[in-house]
Structure 1
Amino acid sequence: MFTCARTRHLPTNRTSNRPLGHANAVRMKIESSLPRPQLPEPPPHTGLQFAVATEEDFDEIMAMSQDIYGGLDYLPTRYQAWLQETNRTVILARKQGKVIALESVCVIDDGETVLVEGLRVAPQERGKGVAGVLLRFCAQLVKSKYPDVKVSRLTRDDQLGPKDFQKYRLITKQGILLVRFRAEDLKLRLAELGPDAGMSPTQMEAPMRLDPEEVHQLFLSSGLMRDVLPNNTIVQDWQPFKPLPSNMAILLKKDIDWMVDDPQRPTVVSLCTFPFHVPIGDDWYYLNIDVFGKDLSLVRQQFLTHLLRHTESLKGHIMCQVFLDPPLWEPLADFCRDTLRVELVKEYTEQCVVESDLV
């Protein structure tokens, strides 16, 4: 996804006992021992200078990317963590000393794939070719630092046209369902519906939350996830991973709820982020749920279970984005609107994972 307000009262992540949005509240000191990559020479005649981002650049980056993604920008809560990831480099483009663009490149898939994230260009510089120059510079940096990288992968939420398919291969796609509600209203509605809401009479077993060892075993078991994961790809909050031990190590460091209908023979699996603040307002949160599988009843059941768990201690507004198999979008949208009585923010859109050879 090409693909920010600070708060006074932060709810606690019960898994790690850290405040949600902690990176906003406390400026962590970046480890000085992390290696600083040697940057290639900047392209001539562009008037741009490139530098590795630091914690001191945070406020300037936020000012440059104000109002991005309709107020759902994830970068404020992840910026500090990004700077500490040894397999990631965040590059800034400056013009006359001012930050005008940002791009993050993260090496995954046992060093064979670079994941391109966070691209943003200052409003006054858009349409001038800045993004293309920055992307080419980052590709050159990756090739010099990680010679084994073969492909560049990114995730988009817009419609792909003929020109896109000349540049990219489509890996997989999911439908995006974006809904909005007040936590207090949803809790009342869920209480009215009762514990069996969304389940068919033959599927009354509650979904199972997985611990790290179970996650590792399930996703790395040959064949178990073949019919569940789209094109054998784990897409977690816009990040696509192959089910490899090195990628599971990355994912298991994150605050994610992993859920499955049956750990022995899974039909539906879902990954849910813990809520984090978004810059729409002080009492606005974002919740991201990635669901894999084609059984509507089981998808709906896990969706409700995540909602119950993650809205229990919240007060205020929640934007919840659900990614699911495209044919399930309409029936789940109807369920959200007619049964849960929550607001659909937009109609059907798609999340597309694409890649190209890094040459």
Structure 2
Amino acid sequence: MKIDTSLTMPQLPEGLSKAGLQFTLATEEDFEDIMAMSKDIYGGLDYLPTRYTSWLQEANRTVILARKQGKVIALESVVVIDNGETMLVEGLRVAPQERGKGVAGVLLRFCSELVKSKFPEVKVTRLTRDDTLGPKDFQKYRIITKQGILLVRFRAEDLKQRLSELGLGGEIHSTNASPARLDHTAIHKLYLMSDVMQGVLPHATIIQDWQPFKILPSNMAILLKKDIDWMVDDVSVPTVASLCTFPFRVPIGDDWYYLNIDMFGKNLDLARQQFLCHLQRHTATLKGHVMCQIFLDPPLWKHMVEFCQSTLGVELVKEYTEQCVVESDVI
């Protein structure tokens, strides 16, 4: 489906206009072209192959492709959240031969204009990054919050053996309380019917698998449709909360999985408890290799690394990096 660019965005920069960029809505038929374009993203750990089809079905999400001479050279996904006030930008992909030519900026501008034409109440563009922000970034964006990123790797069978040896008590838990998994009723009560989560969440923001949401009923409706384990240390007065995305396959090889855990709060012991409970629940039926990514309060990162290496015996994949939620006003 071709989009009439003359109606939805300003004049393209001269160089790119001559290059003949065309913009189309993404379809299931474009899947193989997109995978070919982005096969080396994240060292083979790209989440897009797993998410692409579901993205096309999401309400308020627009997935746009940029084409050059009919060939897909870039992708951008934009979803409207926060009661229609925020445009969340995700999934930027640019073909290797087109990087550094300004294609990403033009594609984002096109997507922004298209979304504003459909959702005129949008006020803010928000995105989540894991690279180092430079002076130009600070001119464009303001930082909303940061989380440390801890990436570890292990064989599911080895971890299950280690967890069996340790148990879920004794030396691992220094308190008698066990983490509580939340059902939909409990989630509504904690997140929407009280303000107790305001002090637990960074900048009162739920960050789930790289997506930042304000605590609003419309956003909770989005989150509750997903396969997520919600957990807190105390259902009455929580200190630490976590959201665990169910494991999904990644195309790095056979029997490779990704497990993402978003952790909120500053108590190390309680964070470790919930981390262990998520690991035990979500690796019990897995066979093969698991890349586990934990997002947590930056001061906890070093201590959690020590716990992962010395107690669990898992491998640290990379040194400290940060997940930064940034935003800018829509003009």
Q: Same fold (TM over 0.5)?
A: yes
Are the structure 2 counterparts of residues 60 and 38 from structure 1 closer, same or farther at C-alpha, using a change threshold of 3 Å?
A: closer
Equivalent of 1:254 in 226, 230, 233? 226
The answer to whether the aligner puts 1:290 opposite 2:262 as a matched pair is: yes
- 1:37: how far off? 10
- Percent identical: 74
SS at match of 1:128: coil
Equivalent of 1:274 in 236, 246, 257? 246
Give the alignment of 1:188-337 within 5 angstroms. Answer: 188-196=161-169, 199-201=172-174, 203-337=175-309
- 1:199: how far off? 3.9
Are the structure 2 counterparts of residues 197 and 331 from structure 1 closer, same or farther at C-alpha, using a change threshold of 3 Å?
A: farther
**CA–CA separation in structure 2 for the residues paired with 1:221 and 1:162:** 40
Corresponding residue number in structure 2 for 1:166: 139
Equivalent of 2:94 in 101, 104, 121? 121
Aligned length: 323
Equivalent of 2:123 in 141, 150, 154? 150
Structure 2 gap segments, 5+ residues each? none
Corresponding residue number in structure 2 for 1:14: none
**CA–CA separation in structure 2 for the residues paired with 1:99 and 1:200:** 51
Contact 1:52 1:91 in 2 (8 A): yes
Corresponding residue number in structure 2 for 1:338: 310
| Cα deviation digits, residues 2-37 of structure 1 (max 9, x gap) | xxxxxxxxxxxxxxxxxxxxxxxxxxxxxxxxxx89
- 1:192: how far off? 1.2
Corresponding residue number in structure 2 for 1:184: 157
Contact 1:198 1:300 in 2 (8 A): no
Corresponding residue number in structure 2 for 1:135: 108
- 1:222: how far off? 3.4
Corresponding residue number in structure 2 for 1:40: 5
| Cα deviation digits, residues 81-107 of structure 1 (max 9, x gap) | 111112100000000000000000000
Give the alignment of 1:4-15 within 5 angstroms. Answer: none
**CA–CA separation in structure 2 for the residues paired with 1:222 and 1:114:** 26
- 1:279: how far off? 0.8
Are the structure 2 counterparts of residues 39 and 223 from structure 1 closer, same or farther at C-alpha, using a change threshold of 3 Å?
A: farther
Equivalent of 1:351 in 323, 326, 329? 323
Structure 1 gap segments, 5+ residues each? 1-35
- 1:200: how far off? 4.1
SS at match of 1:226: helix
Give the alignment of 1:56-135 within 5 angstroms. Answer: 56-135=29-108
What TM-score results when the alignment is normalised by the length of structure 1?
A: 0.88
Are the structure 2 counterparts of residues 316 and 358 from structure 1 closer, same or farther at C-alpha, using a change threshold of 3 Å?
A: same
| Cα deviation digits, residues 166-222 of structure 1 (max 9, x gap) | 110100000000000000000111111122166443x22211100112112211133
Give the alignment of 1:11-30 within 5 angstroms. Answer: none
**In proportion to residue count, which structure has more helix?**
2
**CA–CA separation in structure 2 for the residues paired with 1:284 and 1:266:** 34
Contact 1:89 1:105 in 2 (8 A): yes
**CA–CA separation in structure 1 for the residues paired with 2:310 and 2:42:** 27
Aligned-pair RMSD on alpha carbons? 1.4
**CA–CA separation in structure 2 for the residues paired with 1:353 and 1:192:** 38
Letter of the structure 1 residue corresponding to residue 5 of structure 2: P
